[in-house]
């Protein structure tokens, strides 16, 4: 989706590397003066919140506690806890799926099963978090309590069994029947009425309402809709640099929101609050409250991405049909069959929460619990397609609308791009506004304008390079010495989706772009292996088995290979900076492999040495990536 970054409903994988003793909770407790450790096995965050609360409450009794993720520590150290005076280990353990441990407690569970440790010096207590509607109620809590005793540990408090069916809800619903509407949130991300009374600085919790001044289609044909948008940031005091990202807060489609009211039989204009039951928690509400269900579903909640398994786990209790309830529970389990069912029925079929409610007629959860469970609607990030040197009061966006048919025959649409596509500047005399802020990036032009740059950006990956080229042109106008500016761009067809064709041609004619190489991957009937404003010889390895030597597929990496000697001279002799923007899964990887090959060939290096050479370019900031997957 064109240098767009969003992770709605997904958690980024975190890679941890630790010195040998960093995974010892005993050493950490000794260093920080703690004597209570509260381990949590948590899938949805509830057990983790309980553990944090318990560890903080320890000070009331003259003790000091810490919450700990068992996945991060060596649990064999439990046998050493007696080294700490007045020590205690508490285990807040949720049960997941069919009596399984949560993902972060799986290693602890495996260790308990295999351990032959002497835990006679360990004092412990266990609190389980479960739901009586499930067959394996609190199985994990019961097992940990039983197994620790078998290993010789001393239980100092009886096993506690929390019942979610008895409503271990994090938030309590309050419906407001008589409320001052001036105190009701209508889509603001932070401060109430912040959209009516705008005050800088603008950031994620205080976005600026930018006026949309231009929204034009960039492509001349094809099924896709590629667009160029311009946002007016006058009087906002917002500053940006070429290569930065603009974050846009979109709104969910009104027709989807209305269907929730119809399916769940709810008045979406009801004003309500979801209040945290833990009064001492810093997070008072899951989203700004008080507000209406309509506002929450429109501006605050992600309703278009496939829900995670923890949401299915919580919703299962509301399915009145036995087979539907069993299916939901199975998909939420950690069994191989359950994982496969979730992957096929939810992920690969791209079923969002609305589709699941439609396909499971007996599943009708209370709308307040559904709103509690759904993740927040995230801002979408776009690489800025302009230079502040040329456009100090505007931010340009280049994007492609996302729209596809799922395996169930539904038409799924990207939230932000379709919302932006339908925005019309000055519609009926009214400003069309976009909540936004700028996120700084490390994707920067070289400090010295004379340094050569090689830019590789197929499709909407060209976005930041439009800003780069604008800035190089401005520097040239200021009398600065500007180094070689080389662009490798790719699209499907020359006559359909060659973005910014006129602008690029003008930059080439003015001498700002010293080389413009364009690959048209789907133009199979072309008589030459590539189309470029820089003359290049034919390349037999790209030609199909046609008598006229027509090309089947040409991508940016093929153009790099053809220009490999020039590329090497720019990088090795000219200290050029390399920039890649676009698809991380295929294009960025293929381009990087091409650079490995070029470096190995012209630098007389082994493949391993070439890889190291490119990695060092990255470390020095001379090989920069702005990619998405």
What domains lie within the chain, and their CATH numbers? 25-163 (3.40.50.360), 199-250+379-441 (2.40.30.10), 252-377 (1.20.990.10), 453-530+549-627 (3.40.50.80)
Helices 106-114 and 139-150, packing angle to 10 deg: 40
Report the number of secondary-structure helices (H) and strands (E) in the chain.
19, 25
CB neighbour class for 411 (10 Å; exposed up to 12, middle 13-18, buried from 19): exposed
Could you confirm whether 345 is annotated as catalytic? no
pLDDT in tens, 69-79: 999 999 999 99
Which structure tokens are listed for 235?
């009087």
Which structure tokens are listed for 308?
């995670």
- Residue 125 falls in which region: left (phi positive, over 0), alpha (psi -120 to 50) or beta: beta
- What is the DSSP code (8-state) at residue 539? -
For CA atoms 285, 290, 296, 299, give the dihedral sign: negative
Q: What is the pLDDT of residue 522?
A: 79
Could you confirm whether 573 is annotated as catalytic? no
Residues 6+ apart with CB under 8 A from 427: none
Residues 6+ apart with CB under 8 A from 18: none
Taking the C-alpha atoms of residue 560 and residue 594, their distance in angstroms, rounded to an integer, is: 7
How many CB atoms are located within 10 Å of the residue 551 CB?
24
Could you confirm whether 383 is annotated as catalytic? yes
Location of structure tokens 């001349």 = 220
Q: Which ranges of the chain have pLDDT less than 70?
A: 1-22, 133, 164-168, 524-552
Backbone angles phi, psi at 282, to 5 degrees: -70, -25
Taking the C-alpha atoms of residue 522 and residue 365, their distance in angstroms, rounded to an integer, is: 48
Q: What is the pLDDT of residue 22?
A: 65
> Which helix (H) or strand (E) is 614 found in, with range?
helix 607-619
3-state secondary structure of 284: coil
Could you confirm whether 539 is annotated as catalytic? no
Q: What is the pLDDT of residue 130?
A: 85
> Which helix (H) or strand (E) is 506 found in, with range?
helix 501-509
Q: Which of 194, 236, 383, 624 is catalytic?
A: 383
Look at residues 424, 350, 420 and name the one whose alpha carbon lies nearest to residue 382. 420
Torsion on CA atoms 65, 69, 72, 75, rounded to nearest 10: 70
Q: Radius of gyration of the chain from Cα atoms?
A: 29
3-state secondary structure of 299: helix
How many CB atoms are located within 10 Å of the residue 620 CB?
10
Q: Which of 42, 87, 581, 624 is catalytic?
A: 581
């Amino acid at each position: 989706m064109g240098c767009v970054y969003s992770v709605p409903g997904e958690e980024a994988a975190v890679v941890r590397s630790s010195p040998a003793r960093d995974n010892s909770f005993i050493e950490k407790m000794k260093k920080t003066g703690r004597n209570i450790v509260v381990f949590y096995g948590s899938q949805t965050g509830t057990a983790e919140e309980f553990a944090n609360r318990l560890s903080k409450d320890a000070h009331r009794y003259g003790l000091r506690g810490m919450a700990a993720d068992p996945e991060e520590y060596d649990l064999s150290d439990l046998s050493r806890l007696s080294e700490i005076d007045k020590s205690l280990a508490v285990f807040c353990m949720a049960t997941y799926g069919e009596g399984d441990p949560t993902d972060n407690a799986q290693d602890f569970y495996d260790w308990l099963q295999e351990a032959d440790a002497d835990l006679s010096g360990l004092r412990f207590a266990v609190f389980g978090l479960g739901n009586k509607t499930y067959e394996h109620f609190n199985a994990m809590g019961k097992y940990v309590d039983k197994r620790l005793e078998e290993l010789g540990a001393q239980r100092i408090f009886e096993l506690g069994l929390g019942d979610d069916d008895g409503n271990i809800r994090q938030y309590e619903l309050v419906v407001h029947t008589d409320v001052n509407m001036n105190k009701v949130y209508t889509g603001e991300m932070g401060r109430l009425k912040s959209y009516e009374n705008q005050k800088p600085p603008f950031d994620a919790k205080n976005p600026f309402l930018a006026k949309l001044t231009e929204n034009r289609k960039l492509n001349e044909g094809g099924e896709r809709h590629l667009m160029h948008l311009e946002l007016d940031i006058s009087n906002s005091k917002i500053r940006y640099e070429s290569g930065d990202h603009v974050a846009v807060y979109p709104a969910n489609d009104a027709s989807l929101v209305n269907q929730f009211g119809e399916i769940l039989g709810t008045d979406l204009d009801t004003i309500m609050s979801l209040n945290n039951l833990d009064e001492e928690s810093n997070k008072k509400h899951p989203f700004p409250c008080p507000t209406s269900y309509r506002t929450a579903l429109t501006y605050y909640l992600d309703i278009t991405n496939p829900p995670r398994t923890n949401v299915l786990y919580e919703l299962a209790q509301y399915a009145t049909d036995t087979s539907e309830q069993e299916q939901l529970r199975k998909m939420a389990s950690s069994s191989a069959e359950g994982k496969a069912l979730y992957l096929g029925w939810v992920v690969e079929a791209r079923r969002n929460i609305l589709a699941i409610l439609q396909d499971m007629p007996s599943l009708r959860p209370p709308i307040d619990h559904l709103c509690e469970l759904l993740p927040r609607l995230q801002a979408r990030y776009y690489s800025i397609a302009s230079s502040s040197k040329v456009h100090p009061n505007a931010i340009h966006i280049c994007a492609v609308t996302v729209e596809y048919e799922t395996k169930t025959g539904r038409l799924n649409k990207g939230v932000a791009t379709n919302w932006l596509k339908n925005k019309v500047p000055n519609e009926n005399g009214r400003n069309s506004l976009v909540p936004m802020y700028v996120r700084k990036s490390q994707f920067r032009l070289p400090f010295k304008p004379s340094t050569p740059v090689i830019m590789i950006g197929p499709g909407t990956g060209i976005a930041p390079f439009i800003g780069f080229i604008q800035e190089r042109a401005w520097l040239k106008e200021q009398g600065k010495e500007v180094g070689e500016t080389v662009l490798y761009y790719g699209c499907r067809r020359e006559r359909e989706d060659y973005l910014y064709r006129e602008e690029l041609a003008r930059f080439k004619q003015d001498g700002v772009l010293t080389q413009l190489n364009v690959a048209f991957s789907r133009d199979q009937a072309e008589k030459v292996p590539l189309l470029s404003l820089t003359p290049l010889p034919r390349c037999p390895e790209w030609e199909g088995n046609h008598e006229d030597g027509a090309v089947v597929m040409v991508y940016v990496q093929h153009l790099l290979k053809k220009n490999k000697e020039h590329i090497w001279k720019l990088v090795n002799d000219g200290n050029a900076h390399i920039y890649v923007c676009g698809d991380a899964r295929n294009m960025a990887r293929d381009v990087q492999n091409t650079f490995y090959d070029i470096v190995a060939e012209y630098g007389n290096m082994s493949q391993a040495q070439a890889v190291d050479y490119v990695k060092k370019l990255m470390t020095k900031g001379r090989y920069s990536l702005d990619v998405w997957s």
